[in-house]
Amino acid sequence: MALKISRADVWAASIEDRPGGTAEKLEPLAQAGANLEFLIARRSPENPGKGVLFVTPVKGARAARAARQAGFAATKRIHSLRVEGPDRQGAMAKLARALTDAGISFRGLSAAAIGKRFVAHLAVDSAAQARQAAAVLRKLA
């Protein structure tokens, strides 16, 4: 399984848990020309009425400025990899097993298949773990 692996800087912002909370954060990025490849929005059960929005990538000075003005910040605790490969039966199981066998615990894994390819975003707790995970995944064949 040939994989394309790259670091993915994740930006996060608090959102209001109400209709329009996510749109209000995304619209300034779109107006600044940001071309987001991935996002996750979720409620924060520990903080009723609030949620969190994670996006990647935020590229270019204009997009970064708009993101900061909209309340986003580049995360320092989430180290993420973008993994792309052929969509085959069991691909995510193979990826998860390789990480497990290497002793890597991940804090999040999101994946989707589009056509004949999958794209996954893997989050770990440190830059060292991200480097280790990338090395493990590059060995998958």
Of 50, 33, 30, the closest CA to residue 42 belongs to 50
Encode the chain (141 residues) as per-residue pLDDT tens digits. 789 999 999 999 999 999 999 999 999 999 999 999 999 999 998 889 999 999 999 999 999 999 999 999 999 989 999 999 999 999 999 999 999 999 999 999 999 999 999 999 999 999 999 999 999 999 986
Q: Which residues of the chain form CATH 3.30.70.260?
A: 9-74, 77-138
Question: CA Rg, the chain, in Å?
Answer: 16
User: What is the distance between the alpha carbons of residues 81 and 136, in angstroms, rounded to a whole number?
Assistant: 12
pTM for the whole thing? 0.89
CATH of 77-138, picked from 3.55.40.20, 3.20.20.120, 3.40.250.10, 3.30.70.260, is 3.30.70.260
* Range 9-74 classified under CATH 3.40.30.10: no
